[in-house]
Amino acid sequence: MNNSKIKFEIIAVAISTLLILLGLLIESNFFSINNSDLLLLIYGSAFIIGGFYKAKEGIEETIKNKSLNVEILMILASFGAFLIGEYFEGSILIFIFAVSGVLESLTKSKSEKNLTSLLNLTPKNANKKVGKKIITIDLNEVKVGDLIVVTTGEKIPVDGLVIDGDSSVDQSSITGEFIPKNISINDQVYAGTINIGSRIIIKTIKDPSESVMQKMIDLVSKAQKQKIPKQSRIDKIEKWYVYIVILMSILFMIIPSILGILSIKESFYRGIIILVVGSPCALVASISPAILSSLSSAARNNVLIKGGLYLEKLNNIDMVIFDKTGTITTGKPKVKNFIIDKGNALDPLTSIIYNMAKQSSHPISKAIVNHFFLSQDLELSTKEIPGKGIECFYNENKYQIGRFNAKKNLKLGKSSLLLESKGQTIVWIYKNQKQIGFISLQDTIREDALKSVNFLKSKKIDIMMLTGDNNSSAGSIANALGIDKYIANCYPEDKLNIITKNQKLKEVLMVGDGLNDAPALQVAELGISMGSGTDISLETADIIIMNNNLSSIPYLFKLSKKMNLIINQNIIFSLLIICLLLLSNVFGLIALPLGVLAHEGSTILVILNSLRLLKV
Active site residues: 323
Q: What is the C-alpha to C-alpha distance for residues 440 and 416, in angstroms, rounded to an integer? A: 8
Q: Which of 520, 564, 116, 596 is nearest to 327 (CA)?
A: 520
What is the rounded CA–CA span in Å between residue 20 and residue 356? 82
CA 194/CA 123 separation, integer angstroms: 10
Beta strand extents in 461-611 (DSSP E only): 462-466, 485-487, 508-512, 526-530, 543-545
Question: If you ran DSSP here, which 8-state letter would residue 328 be given?
Answer: I
d(Cα 180, Cα 170) in Å, to the nearest integer?
Answer: 5
Residues 6+ apart with CB under 8 A from 414: none
Cα gap 70→397, rounded to integer Å: 86
Integer CA distances (angstroms), 544 to 96, 365, 369, 465, 547, in order? 38, 30, 31, 19, 9
Roughly how many angstroms between the first and final C-alpha of the chain, as a whole number? 23
Q: What are phi and psi for residue 581, nearest 5 degrees?
A: -70, -40
Residue 127 burial (CB count, 10 A): 17
What single letter denotes the amino acid at residue 382?
T
Bridge partner residues of 426 (DSSP): 440
Burial class (CB in 10 A: 0-12, 13-18, 19+), 444: middle
| 243 vs 240: CA distance, rounded Å | 5
Is residue 348 reached through a cis peptide bond, with omega within 30 degrees of 0 on the bond before it? yes
Which positions ≥6 away from 243 have C-beta within 8 Å? 68
Q: Do the Cβ atoms of 532 and 513 come closer than 8 Å?
A: yes
Distance CA 169, CA 419 (A): 35
Q: In whole angstroms, what is the distance from residue 327 CA to residue 528 CA?
A: 10
DSSP string, 369-421: HHHTTTSPP----EEEETTTEEEEEETTEEEEEE--S-B--HHHHHHHHHHHH
Give dist(CA 123, CA 599) in Å, integer: 47
